Every structure is written in structure tokens, then in C-alpha cells.
Chains A and B, each alone.
Chain A
Amino acid sequence: MAKADFAVPVLKQYPEIPAIEPGVMAHSAPFKSKEEFQAPLGFPGQLVDDWQQKALDKMGDLLGRYRGLRVYLDSCVKCGSCTDKCHYYLGTHDPKNMPVGRQDLMRKVYRRYFTLAGKFFPKLVGAEDFTEEVLSDWYSYFHQCSQCRRCSVFCPYGIDTAEISMAAREIMDHIGVGQKYCNEIIAKVYRIGNNLGLPGPALADTLEGLEEDVFDDTGVEVKYPLDQEGVDILFVTPSADFFAEPHVDGLIGYGKVMHEAGVSWTFSSYASEAANFGMFIGSYDNMRRVALRIREAAIKLGVKRIVFGECGHAWRVAYSFLNTLAGPWDFLDPRYPVPQHICEFTYDLMQQGKLNFDKSLNDDMVLTYHDSCNVARASRMGDRPGGQFDIPRAIIRATCNNFYDMDEDTIRDRTFCCGGGGGLLTDDLMEIRVKGAQPRVEALNNVIQEKGVTHMAAICAICKSQFTKVLPYYGMDMDQIVSVHQLVSNALILTGQTSDEDAEETADEAA
């Protein structure tokens, strides 16, 4: 079990709504960004003079540009429906982690400076001056929101705390109070092409190694091309897929699926990152700059289609925003959606009967599936609403014999975030990550106890990294989290693949 200098929540059989404990997470705040990480994004390097006025100016600017922000700040009636829905509240008991509690950190400033009632009767309507204490609360609690949108499902007006967190981070960035983790990473994308800072030669080396591994395993020459011009498909995937377990097992699966589909495809070293942290910091400009790299790569490589690998927030930006940020995509093949998710791609091939699976190859696992928050509540797959739930499950059922869903209240559009989304996947926020994972891990623990589940599959790089790190705090193993395309990779029998028996026979003959 991993060691913690804070109390790891106890897993219960039935979920409990905790009593509020005000202020218990006020100490949790990520490392602040520095000049060198702020400047490439166009933000001041440290707290600016006259920060209060500049912050209010920025808030006014955003209120005029984002209808959602204005409507959400006006509409809340404090009914309480959201109060027990956030995983960070359930895991920490801090009422400022209730969605409405978090929103009110901004709403009280909005009311004070932008509404009649708050200007004349601040005490009455809970309006407050934008003081240094309020700014400190903002920095702390707007970095305890993973922008998972679970609150927006249960709000009678659809108020989405993610939108408010994003706006708050954008305002803070503009007065020089940035978060190191996100801003350093975005700068790395501009400089190198991906979040992990893996340069082209390192990617080429990794992919070459994978080709050898797959050939050794299967006897089939599956290719993992990089920067190949004139191919059909540009494949964009989170850089973690090139780097770590269990991500890379999923990437092996993508290549096998592409191979069986018989299409030509390539990764790009210039757009070697699916994730777009510009969204986390609420910066349209930076989100657009990151997204445009994909457009540039698609044009340069002359591809006809774009497919995205397994990544949650990335799929939100890809599915919901890419057309807005980097479109129009009129130079691509109009017969395919832009972009496509690898799960949609694999599912289509399954429908055409092009994939030959031996499910028993995954018999060493009993699986459950974690709906990643941004895939579930901010995107879609296929042509019907809810395809984002059904398609990945259809793939798992086609590749595995043993599959059980977790409790209905914790899956599909009611899924809990892993606890590490929205720019919180950094070691300086370990406490909130572990505590925020509690509702998901609790539901997982229950299917482990009741159904004998051994592994949880996911289609998000953040989820995979987060669970790898966090499950040990709850006494589970880090390798209990797997990629969906890892299951595909395990069960897929490639055309012309030598089975184990064939290989043994050949070995016998050779002997």
C-alpha cells in the first residue's frame, strides 16, 4: 500500500453523503507557474500590480464572450441538487468542493461587481469584494475541480461548474497566477509537440521497438508509421501512449486494428499529442493554438481522415471543439466523421466482420469499464446519443468473456471522474487526487467483492495514469487498470498470424 501523509478515505459498501467540514481542503493548492512557463502562453509571469481591477476587467470580458458563464452565474437558486454529486466533496467533505460551493467563489465576486443587488446589498445576496483571501480560495478550490461535468447532469438549469472553473483559471492566468503543471505542459507542446516532451527521434525509436515486439509475438509485420506523407489516416493519440503501461498496450492494439483494416496511416511527430490542456485553463487562444497543430500536420501529411486514440478530455476537444477551433475540414474525405474515435473505427470493423477475436485470450481477467467523464458527458461516439457508452462496451464484450458493470449510479452519464482530470494529474495535488478517487474506487471495490472483478478498462490517458498511481493507496494493484485496446490487442488474431501451436511445431521441426 502506498504511503500517505493524509487520511485515505475508507471504502464503504454503500455510498454515504458526508457531513460538511468547512475549510479542510483550503491548504490544497498546486505549485504556481513561473515566468518561463507563463510567457509562451501569453500570460504575465507574476501577480500584476492592480490585479483586482485587471481580474474584474477580464471577468467582464469573459461574461461578454461566454453566454454560459453569464447564465450560470445568474441562474443558480441554491436548491442543493448538486451538493452531493462532486467526487471531491464526497472524498474531502469540504463544502467548497460542492459544485455550488465552488461556483459561489466566483458568483459572490460576480454579484458584488456586476449585479445591482450585489452592489447595493452585498450582505443580503452573499456578495463579497475580490480580496486576496478570495483569490487564494480561487487558486485552491478551482484547482480541485476536474471539469468532469457530473454536477451539470443533476442541475435543473444545467449549470456546469467546469465552465466556471475554466473561466476562473483564465482570469487568474491573466493576472499572473497560473498553475505550473498545465502551463508548463502547454509550453512543451509548443516547443516539442507533446505533453511529455518526447522528441521525434524518441518516438521513432519507440515505434520501431513496438514493431519488433509485435513481430516476435505474432509473426506478422504490423507497422507503426511516423510522419509518413500521403497516407489515408493521421492518428493522434495522447503522448502517454508512447511511453508508459498500460497506455502503450493500447497503442499496440491501435496498430493491429489499422493493420487488419488494411488502411495506410501514420502518427505525426508535430501533432504527437491528442490532449489539449488549453481547455483546462479555459484559454480559447491556447486551446486553438494546440488544436491548429493537428490541422497543420493533416495538411502537411496530405491525409484524408483523422482518428483519435484513447483519451478523455482530448476526445471532448476533438469531438466537440476541433471543427470550431481548427476547421473547416473540407479537405478531408467527407465520407468519414472528423475526427473519428479509435473505438468507432474498431467498432465499424467489427460490424463488417473484419476482426477475428479469440475472447479466451482475455480469460485471465474479469473486467469492468470506467466511463471517462469527458467522453461520457461532453462527447459522443457513433451516430446515436449514448454511443459513447455502448460502443466501448460492445468492444469489451466482443473481446472478453467476463465483463460486469459497476453500480448504475456510477456509470454512463452518472460516472465518477477518476479524480485526476482537468489539470490535476500532478504529484503536488496527490491528496485531492486520492480523496477524489474515493467514489469511483468504492464502486470498483464493490464489483471486486461481489463479481470477482480483477481489472478495470478505460479509454483515457488521465484515468489510466491516475488509477495506476492512486489504486495502491486503497490497497489495490497499479496494474488493475487496463486500456480497452489492450483487450483488443490481446484477443485479436491477425491475418496470417502464427498461433502458439504453429510456432511450437516450427520449433520442433527446427530441432
Chain B
Amino acid sequence: MPKDHGIGASPKRREDVRFLSGTGNYTDDINLNGQAYVHFLRSDVAHGRIDRVDTAAAAAMPGVVRIFTGADFEGVGGLPCGWQVTDRHGQPMAEPGHPVLAQGKVRHVGDPIAAVVADTYEQARDAAEAIELDIEELPAVVDMKAALRDGAPKVHDDLAGNLCYDWGFVEENREAVDKAIKEAAHVTTLELVNQRMVANPMEPRVAVGDYNRATGDHTLYTTSQNPHVIRLLMGAFVLGIPEHKLRVVAPDVGGGFGTKIFHYAEEAFCTFAAKAVNRPVKWTSSRSEAFMSDAHGRDHVTKIELALDAENNFVALRTDTHANMGAYLSTFAPSVPTWLHGTLMAGNYKTPLIYVNVKAVFTNTVPVDAYRGAGRPEATFQLERVIDKAARELGVDPVALRRQNFITEFPYATPVAVEYDTGDYNATMDKLIEIGDFAGFAARRAASEAKGKLRGLGVNCYIEACGIAPSNLVGQLGARAGLYESATVRVNATGGLVVMTGSHSHGQGHETAFPQVIAEMIGIDESMVEIVHGDTANTPMGMGTYGSRSLAVGGSAMVRATEKIINKAKRIAAHLMEASESDIELKDGQFSVAGTDKSVAWGDVTLAAYVPHNYPLEDIEPGLEETAFYDPSNFTYPSGAYACEVEVDPETGRVTIERMTAADDFGNIVNPMIVSGQVHGGLAQGIGQALLEGCVYDENGQLLSASYMDYAMPRADDLPFYTVDHSCVTPCTHNPLGVKGCGEAGAIGSPPSVVNAVVDALQSAGRDVTHIDMPLSPARVWAALQG
């Protein structure tokens, strides 16, 4: 019987009632008395010198409060980068300035030049059109390899060139890897593109700045995955506001997918301008603005070489990647192609020698940063594609080749600096083959062929490092922040609990899953637990939600705080029952004395804590409220095996996904329904990347896929019914819940299986196709079929 409450049960998501009934409170729902509106005048050229910005005529337009330009921000810090990567030669990365409003030059289409604050949004927009601009257009660099050539136009004139860093990992392995590849029995080489993506959360970004003249307090309401991080970055590095005078609120947030982690210019602007004009200032991104101002994702160009010995054992792996940073360094951009990518190149395999080279490059494009999976999808895609190609070259079964090279003993220290604590890759592969009905594939292929279609089956494995992360480790790797999480558990007099967590929920279901954990620990109903998040004024300093870390890190902090609560409550119960503390047991919300029939209810104890008439005041403080900070000792390592079955229409090149199967090991599971939902969403984004989505610039840096007319978001009918399973469980060994994280798996694990399946389908028809770059649009697949 499945459980009906506590850990392992699947209660419906309580937050969905407000999300689905239009009663959520999103940032755009916040309207403050007297608020003004800002419209940003953005560059329509990719690269240009700003010769003149004349705002005189515009400032006289109706309703205009004030117009700001880069000059207004000369005394203000630029947007900081939160991660410093050290290159192969021990030198720090090139780190250009990132002004709130452009100063001297514009560097990508969408770069903000001026900001008009007016009584209404339309007036702000009207006035922006009256700003007189002289911008001398300069040659733009878009292609990464072209950007690194001598004489290429420089995105930042004060840097030596467009190279941000040339990173080698592990640099000491380089010669050994070169030698092993040179001497290997077989080397499979693949060149591929992991295309640029636009996250496109349903809710565009919004910021509302407010300033209280009476107290000097600033408040920023913003669409963020991590309000405390925004408070720290913006307060300390941009505007010079101490944390106790700055409150950041991220209320209901309609999807993040990474792109709402970062600190953006618009947030700093609204906070700054609210004080400058002494009115609240609001900005709501249009969808068109989102395409050219939200940080993009992925955008890697890679050559990967896999060397095998005569027995098909993997002996060495070498990768050479160019990673696009865009025009500026977004908050965590440098970490994505390095520490979130290079460290994952071992995958599920015991390849002894690995060398990863990444050149990060500045171009005249929107900045690129983390997007669901962040570095790990890029690592998984190239590795699982090159293994598939190797299997085909060697004429061996792709599943058998993977199994032969699986890591089977744990803990396992990879040659790329991480140690996997647990996993069972054969178990998830066995489960995949069972639930994906591999045995029936031949018959399904025959049925497809009878209809004139080609059918392919593609498989891949994945591993990810999430639950990020041990602060001392990431500090050594260049992170400029800690990556712990916090929780305060406040028990009320009548027994209800409020958990104030530093994690942030923007669709993940924390408000439902976190109470399940507490309900299990105390033995009370989940409805007695409320989750509070998203406001720096009433939650402890937390690092927010990304990298599949909420339950593994934030949940662990909540468990630690709840353990403190239970320990104190037991001492109170012992006093009430005149028993020894060591004899007190807590079960089903009752404290009892072991070996007796004496008991007191949870509510009796909590009431005693706040009405301490009969209470050991000399030994225990009244009240029942505890805080814990949890810093993990390692990453967590979810893993799994995915399979995709496609039909290809050979006449049109159109690919349809007929089956999509995911067998994941997420460690222990708190709410299986929510986990399935997270996998479903990840699969939609992974399939979106594989078949549909792609952000395209022309050679002048104009964004061609600037709206949904050309940027293909997956729709429901593009997606199949999924078969997902997470019954293979190897619990994480180092967090109290034994959980690993599930938020990114679907997006990491699915693109290679889709591409592997299409290649399999085309090869089944005798076509010599070994790779097609994503998205596998009908036009690209048809072109591949033509040879």
C-alpha cells in the first residue's frame, strides 16, 4: 500500500490551488501607491559606440519623471560575477565591467542604454522613442572561433581579446590523455553543437523598487530564485546598501529554470531609481524584452574523442569546448562550462584518463548562464553521443558497451575531482529495458516500416552532481559565495509549525513536500506545517534554489532544525511526565515514557513551551523555535538511464517521439508524484532542446529567433506520454534524508537519447548519418537523409 501521509506519500500540491485558480501573488501583482513605471531603451545593434544620448526632448514629454543614462551610474558598482575561474596557466579569468546602463559602448542587441521613468508605462515608452541617439555601429563578433582570431573586433576594449579563460581540467592529465589516445586501439571522434537556448519561463521578469524616506529602508520585489543572493550581490557590490536596510522579496514566481538565479541590471535600476525619484518604480518585461535580456543557456561547440582498447574498454577521453559567455559575465556564467561540466565528464563510466579543455569566449550576444542542468546536460550530451557513435563504429550493442564500462563499486573517485557516493547503474538500465519494453522494439519498428516510417531506439545514461554544494570545496573552485542552506522552524503554542526556509519555490512544490518531512518526523498531520520562503525579512540567510538542491540541502537544514525542536520538546515532555529525558519517545505526535503508559500530546508540550507555568525555567528557555544551517559534505549524484523511440517520416524529415522512458535513481523519495512531475517537466525541456528550440543570431548579431514565431517552444502535442520510474534507490550517504535531487534530471538525461534514436532510425534505412546537430528540425533531418 502506498503511504497516505508523510515521506513517500503523494498528497496533491497545496500551492496548486492558488496557481491554478488565479489567486497567486506574483511580482507583477504588486502595485504600490504612487508607483512609476520604467521603460528601458535597448540597443538595436549588436555592437556600437555611443556618441551621444540626448534626453532633453524626451524629458519634456508628458508624464516623464526622470530619464537615466549610463552617466547616472558612473558612481555605482557594476553587476558582479559570482564565480572566478582560474585558467590553465594559473591566471584569473578576464572579468570585464558590466554597467547597469551602457557606458561608452553597447555590446549586444538588448543592452540597456537609457531608462525612462514615467507616470505610466505607455508614457515611458513614448518618451523613450524621443531620445536622440547617435550610435556608431561597430563590426560584431558572434561566432566564437572567429572571436578568438587575431584582429577580431573586441567586445571589451580594455581586455586583451575576447578570451575569458582557457581552462584545462585536469591539467596534469593532459599529456597522459594525449598519449593514451595516440596509442589506443580505437578512437571515436565527434564534433557537435549544444545550441543556445532561451529559458522562457511562463512569467517574464518583473522588478518593483521601493524606498522609505522615513526609515531609509529599500525594498525590491523581484522574480528571483534566490532573494538573499540578490540582496547580497546588489546591496554589497552594486548599490552599497547594507543588508539591514535592504529587503528583497521574491513572492510567487512563475518558473525559473536557472534564468531567475542571476542578478540583473533591471533589479538594481528599480532599487536605485526608487530612491532617486522618491517613488516606487516598476518594470515588467515584455516577452520580446525577455528574449534579449534574460540570460540564455548552453551554447557550447565541442570536439570530443573517446579512446577504447581492443576489448572496448574506455581508456581515455579528451574534449575541446568553446563556451559562449555572451557580452558580459552573468552571475554564475564562468562556473557552468567548467566546474558544472568538466567534473561530470566521467559520466557513469570508469574511464581512467580524462582531459577537458574549455575556452570561454565573449561575443556580441546576450549573456549566457545556467539553464536547467547547467553544464551537466552539455557534458552528458557529448559523452552519451560519442559512446553511441563508438558502439556503431565497433558494431557492438550500445547498451552492452555502456554496461561493460559502468562504474560498479562505490564510493568511486573519478579522474575529474568528484567522488560518487552511491549508485547502481546496472539497476536503472535493467529497469529501463523492462519498462521501455525493449523486447517489443523490433515489432514496433516493423509496424512503423509498414507505414513507410523509420523507427529508431536511442538510449543514454546520465549522472549529475547536484545538491550543490560543499562551501569549502566550491570556495577552492572559485565560488565567491557559500552554498549552504538554512531553515528556522517556529512551533506555535497550539502545535502548528512554520518553516522559514532559505530555499525558494518557483514551481517545485516545496510547500507540499517539506511539510511531509516534518509530519513524518513528529507524527502530525501535514496541514499543521506551513512553509514560508522568498522574503529576506522573514527567512534566515539562504542561498536559494537551483542545482536540484532544495530538498538535499534546504530540506536537510529543515531536518536539523526540527531535530533540535524535537530534542527540546522531549526535555519539556520529560518534565511534564516527571520522567528521565532519555526515556522519552516520540511517535504519532505523542511523547511517551518508555515502558509505561504515560504520555503527553505534541500540543501539550508546545503549549507548555509558550505558557510555561509548569516548566523547568531554570534549565530550559521557554518557546520552541530553532534555526539550523546545513552545509553538505559532498554533492549528490542522481543517475539514471533514459530511452527514446522515434518515428521519422522519410519524406518530410519530421520526427515524432513515440515513447520516452526514464529510469532514475534519486535516492529516497519524499513525494513520488512531485518527483514524476519534475521529471516530466525536465523531459519536456530536454525534448524541446533536442527537437525544437534554438536561439539563432545572424552574423551581425541580430537575434533571428526573437519571438515565438521563430523560437519553437514545445507544446503538449509535441510530447509523448512518458513512462517514468524512480524505484531504483541507492540513498545518498551524507545527508539526513538520503535524497539526491530530481529537478534537472529530465533535461540532462533526455537530449542524447532523442538524437541517438533519430540516428538509429536513419541508419536502419541504410543512411550513413552519424550525427545531426540539435534541434533536429524536419528541415535538418530531411537534409541529413539527402546525404
Same complex for A and B? Answer no
Interface residues of A (CB under 8 A from B): none
